[in-house]
Structure 1
Amino acid sequence: MEYWLILLSIVIGTLSIHYLFKNYNFFKRHNVIHIPSVPILGSMTSVIFRRISMVDFICKLYNFNPDAKYFGCYATTMPIFLLRDPEIIKSILVKNFEAFPDRRGFSDLNDPLLVDNLFSLHGQKWRDVRALLSPSFTSSKMKMMFTLMSECAMDFANFLSTISVEKNDMDMKDAFTKYTTDVIATCAFGIKINSMKDPKNKFYVYGKEATNIFGIKSLFLMIFPTLGRIFNVKLISSYVTNFFKDIIRTTIATRDAENIIRPDMIQLMMDIRGKRERKELDIDDMAAQAFIFSFASLETTSTTISFVAHEIATNPDVQVKLRQEIDQILEESNGQVTFEIINQFQYLDAIIKETLRLYPAIILERVCDETYELPPALPDEKPFTMKKGMTVWIPAYAIHHDAKYYDDPEKFRPERFLDSKMYHNSPCYMPFGLGPRMCIANRFAMLEVKVLLFHLLARCELKPCAKTMFPIKFSKTSRMTPENGFWLNVQRRSDMNPVFESTLIKGIINS
């Protein structure tokens, strides 16, 4: 028996060593320019041991060889092609999308909410679900959701404009997460909540827990996805998963029984029942799609709003100009703001776009699905033929900060987006990605941000406080936040537009 245990240990050890080291010399074997790395941890040692933020790490990689169109690096044990050339990027994301149609996403995990959603789906299933959900984000649907968003934004701004002076230094990320929670609850799940007044509601508490999935466990699953599946390792607790599924199940049952129709995502998924040739979405599928919008809104959108607020507060000239635009449009509209009017805010739109340039997704990822030839990385190099399963990273943050593409790239300058279409569909500006796989909810997110900022800046003034970090240094322990968070001072405007103020007072009295 003892000999069998020894033999088994040798076999397991041999297989483990082969698994961990099989790709270690991948780039050297193929004569591809690459960044030196160490076994197992790859090029990410400094990130894993939290000596550098992920943002600074990607920028460091990007500048490894400024003349190369691409080069290799290792994300732990996985070889990654890091792309620098805009033409190659556009080719992969747009022109040759069929060769790179998928992300890795969370497809290797055991969490249904993470595996079965649009972000992680592959192949035909992704195409089916994308086609199903796309009608959720047409202009007509956005117009209906605008009303739901406005209610959440008014509740949020009213709360902030009435808090006591002692509490007006705030962690803005926490506050904006409550707003985005309320929006996604009403627009995706059909639930009305007010997380500023009730921060202990389950939707907010469980939503925050579900988005806090990046840590040692996620790193383990990145290195050992097969072991994660074998031992059924999950990033999201079962009670959180069951909570979201129960919401979907209960909502559908209630609407069917009482013939309720509501302009939200659940309604759209309900409406296609019995109308499609392919298999319709079951409860797990519906929960996964609704969850990914919750995940994106709670984390990505709230972070974007936090960065916008930070830039507005630390650039007083920008804030004055924005308030002037808000007040002027309020005068012209007699204090009423509709879906059409909110889209007339040109300077607000430019502020958001410039913020998304400064603080986009750190990287975009695509997985090769069919043979594709990369041109030579340098004039004296040879082309490289990518094969199925190989992965590319597009360093969006680093490209957005490259002086080759943007004048004075570190400066917040919204004017660069006024009356300019030069960045439309440009591979040098991709806050929502590019091509068929770009964020399906980008218009939803932009509207969500605009509605909130309008109501907030119409009522309040944002100022730096003692805890405000300027310039920003990114945290080494989280994906993309300042080291000490997003702290600002929020004060009620003393010069609030009188027409708008009168409209607010009437609304409060009527409610």
Structure 2
Amino acid sequence: MSVYIFLLTTFAVLVGYLALKWRRALQYWQNLGIPCEEPHFLMGSLSGVQTSRTFCDVWVDYYNKFRGSGPFAGFYWFQRPGVLVLDTSLAKLILIKEFNKFTDRGFYHNTEDDPLSGQLFLLDGHKWKSMRHKLSSTFTSGKMKHMFPTVVRVGHEFIEVFGKTLDRSSIVEVKDILARFGTDVIGTCAFGIECSSLKDPEAEFRVMGRRAIFEHRHGPLAIAFINSFPNLARKLHVKITIQEAEDFFLRIVKETVALREQNNIRRNDFMDQLIDLKNSPLTKSKTGENVSLTIEEIAAQAFVFFGAGFETSSTTMAFALYELAQHQDIQDLARKECQEVIAKCNGELTYECMKDLVYLDQVISETLRLYTVLPVLNRECLEDFVVPGYPEYVIKRGMPILIPCGAMHRDENLYANPNTFDPENFSAERVKQRDSVEWLPFGEGPRNCIGMRFGQMQTRIGLAFLLKNFKFSVCDQTTIPMVYSKKTFLISSDSGIFLKVERV
């Protein structure tokens, strides 16, 4: 009986200790007098996300509520005290000037049990630095030029399929067909396979890619646990990638690599660059580190290229068409430029003449401001950091940091008439007057988006071909104002983007 009482007492003490520690964690900012919202006991400052509000709602509401109160507001990333940045000067310190103190994103990954989580976006510390160095040569302008004809070829097929879709109905849901275009582009460049999702919306690559991006392996409770206790989750061998996606993408990569190596096939695409890294004769760097890639690492990088490439670019193109359909004068200017540039290049878009699509670039940049696909940048503090000029504002080691760039992009102190679509915000004169951290769709500093050039190239090609051939306008099925999906971390329309389309 005494043993039973001892065990019961020990259990009660342990539960009490954990409850006290939990309560103290959720009172951290209040006790310091730093402005914050009262957190939910489980979700922290993310209460209601994916049910009653979107992730973007969280960042925008929090930013608008506390901006002007200090350099950051207290935030609770589930049960972990963190900070939500309110000041662009602090954002610049974190992303650029003091980058070495904030190199990590702090996202969960488990390369041992979950190989696809070993992607560049999720890696931290030395693993990130090493992988970034290995991949930096694959996204140079020279490599983009090599991949350009492949994207153009898919672009021509896209316009053909788009025209056939228009023959069936003048009302087109552009979000899905643009996602299929993005899938075929990334599938071809990153995996070296013909996905055929443009012609077959239910093609295996499109279906599995959609599942990998939008389906979750775990429910809200498990996600809260993983984000609150990542080290414990790794020790418990917790995986985040759905098993079917892992099996599919690993199989595709292994088959592609084997086919190319056995038959000496070169396609001048992303997969070629990864295979070159795998077979690099420089097996050791000056520091003794292995610089070649494993098959699992190749699969992880191709996987993130797929997820980041098709979703962000296709979403940006869809939102650009959505705004152009509401602003015919802007659409006419963009179309005129596209037609003149393509005509000047003998009827075919070339890599060299893309630089002449100046106004189209402004349209894309303004779309990314209003519809920042990744509306928050995540970092983790590596050592205690006192915000200059604010001795009471201390970011402690291990704290998650959120920079709400989507909310900042709609701040009237940074952009006049911030909710109005105006490509002149990105005229050469205005860009020169603006600090680089006031426009962050690709991040900034050493950990900015490595695939930015490719994403911009794909988006330019897709929009240039569409505007050259078609006119877009709103219809009864167009959702105005836009309603966002609550299911995804990224910005996405909830029910598609329906537009009226006519041939030019």
TM-score by length of 1: 0.89
| Aligned residue among 200, 210, 213 for 2:212 | 210
| CA distance 1:24–1:47, change in 2 (3 Å) | same
1:373 aligns with 2:383: no
| CA distance 1:190–1:8, change in 2 (3 Å) | farther
1:251 aligns with 2:256: yes
The residue type equivalent to 2:142 in the other structure is S
Report the counterpart of residue 430 of structure 1 in structure 2: 440
Report the counterpart of residue 348 of structure 2 in structure 1: 336
| CA distance 1:3–1:86, change in 2 (3 Å) | same
Instruction: Write the distance in 1 (CA, Å) between the matches of 2:181 and 2:307.
Output: 13
The residue type equivalent to 2:78 in the other structure is T
| CA distance 1:108–1:82, change in 2 (3 Å) | farther
**Residue aligned with 1:162, SS:** helix
- 1:233 Cα shift? 4.4
| Aligned residue among 398, 401, 409 for 2:410 | 401
TM-score by length of 2: 0.90
Whether contact under 8 Å (2:377, 2:402) holds in the other structure is yes
Q: How many positions carry a matched residue from both structures?
A: 488
1:300 aligns with 2:312: yes
Note the 1:258-273 alignment, pairs <5 A: 258-272=263-277, 273=279
- 1:18 Cα shift? 4.9
Q: Spell out, residue by residue over 1:73-130, the C-alpha distance to the aligned partner (whole angstroms, 9 max, x if none).
A: 2122121211111111101100110000010123268863442110111112211111
Report the counterpart of residue 468 of structure 2 in structure 1: 458
Whether contact under 8 Å (1:109, 1:225) holds in the other structure is no
- 1:131 Cα shift? 1.2
Report the counterpart of residue 164 of structure 2 in structure 1: 162
Instruction: Write the distance in 2 (CA, Å) between the matches of 1:167 and 1:4.
Output: 74
Instruction: Write the distance in 2 (CA, Å) between the matches of 1:201 and 1:376.
Output: 56
The residue type equivalent to 1:375 in the other structure is P
Instruction: Write the distance in 2 (CA, Å) between the matches of 1:294 and 1:19.
Output: 41
1:445 aligns with 2:455: yes
| CA distance 1:92–1:186, change in 2 (3 Å) | same
More displaced stretch, 39-48 vs 294-303:
39-48
Whether contact under 8 Å (1:111, 1:235) holds in the other structure is no
Whether contact under 8 Å (1:62, 1:395) holds in the other structure is yes
Instruction: Write the distance in 1 (CA, Å) between the matches of 2:77 and 2:380.
Output: 14
Q: Give the unaligned 5+ runs of structure 2.
A: none
Instruction: Write the distance in 2 (CA, Å) between the matches of 1:454 and 1:33.
Output: 46
Whether contact under 8 Å (2:46, 2:78) holds in the other structure is yes
Instruction: Write the distance in 1 (CA, Å) between the matches of 2:138 and 2:434.
Output: 23
The residue type equivalent to 2:282 in the other structure is K
More displaced stretch, 1-10 vs 393-402:
1-10
Instruction: Write the distance in 1 (CA, Å) between the matches of 2:413 and 2:96.
Output: 22
The residue type equivalent to 1:57 in the other structure is V
- 1:145 Cα shift? 0.8
The residue type equivalent to 2:260 in the other structure is R
Whether contact under 8 Å (2:181, 2:198) holds in the other structure is yes
| Aligned residue among 245, 259, 282 for 1:275 | 282
- 1:299 Cα shift? 2.3
Instruction: Write the distance in 2 (CA, Å) between the matches of 1:15 and 1:408.
Output: 51
Instruction: Write the distance in 2 (CA, Å) between the matches of 1:464 and 1:457.
Output: 15
Whether contact under 8 Å (1:473, 1:483) holds in the other structure is yes
| Aligned residue among 419, 422, 433 for 1:413 | 422
The residue type equivalent to 2:321 in the other structure is A
Whether contact under 8 Å (1:375, 1:383) holds in the other structure is no
More displaced stretch, 416-425 vs 305-314:
416-425
- 1:243 Cα shift? 1.5
The residue type equivalent to 1:25 in the other structure is Q
1:97 aligns with 2:106: no
**Residue aligned with 1:422, SS:** helix
| CA distance 1:4–1:304, change in 2 (3 Å) | farther
Instruction: Write the distance in 1 (CA, Å) between the matches of 2:29 and 2:342.
Output: 59
More displaced stretch, 358-367 vs 443-452:
358-367
Report the counterpart of residue 202 of structure 2 in structure 1: 200
The residue type equivalent to 2:313 in the other structure is T
Whether contact under 8 Å (1:92, 1:99) holds in the other structure is yes
| CA distance 1:227–1:491, change in 2 (3 Å) | farther
Instruction: Write the distance in 2 (CA, Å) between the matches of 1:22 and 1:114.
Output: 35
Instruction: Write the distance in 2 (CA, Å) between the matches of 1:350 and 1:227.
Output: 46
Report the counterpart of residue 55 of structure 1 in structure 2: 56
Report the counterpart of residue 497 of structure 1 in structure 2: none
Report the counterpart of residue 70 of structure 1 in structure 2: 72
**Residue aligned with 2:471, SS:** strand
| CA distance 1:292–1:425, change in 2 (3 Å) | farther
| CA distance 1:227–1:102, change in 2 (3 Å) | closer
Q: Spell out, residue by residue over 1:135-185, the C-alpha distance to the aligned partner (whole angstroms, 9 max, x if none).
A: 111111111111111111111111111235443423322111111111111
Note the 1:477-496 alignment, pairs <5 A: 477-479=487-489, 480-493=491-504
Q: Spell out, residue by residue over 1:290-323, the C-alpha distance to the aligned partner (whole angstroms, 9 max, x if none).
A: 1001111232222112111111112111111111
| CA distance 1:11–1:238, change in 2 (3 Å) | farther
The residue type equivalent to 1:248 in the other structure is V
| CA distance 1:252–1:160, change in 2 (3 Å) | same
1:84 aligns with 2:86: yes
- 1:227 Cα shift? 6.4
Instruction: Write the distance in 1 (CA, Å) between the matches of 2:483 and 2:193.
Output: 37
Q: Spell out, residue by residue over 1:316-342, the C-alpha distance to the aligned partner (whole angstroms, 9 max, x if none).
A: 111111111122223322212210112
| CA distance 1:131–1:110, change in 2 (3 Å) | closer
| Aligned residue among 396, 409, 416 for 1:387 | 396
More displaced stretch, 210-219 vs 327-336:
210-219
The residue type equivalent to 1:275 in the other structure is L
Report the counterpart of residue 43 of structure 1 in structure 2: 45
**Residue aligned with 1:180, SS:** helix
Instruction: Write the distance in 1 (CA, Å) between the matches of 2:6 and 2:230.
Output: 27
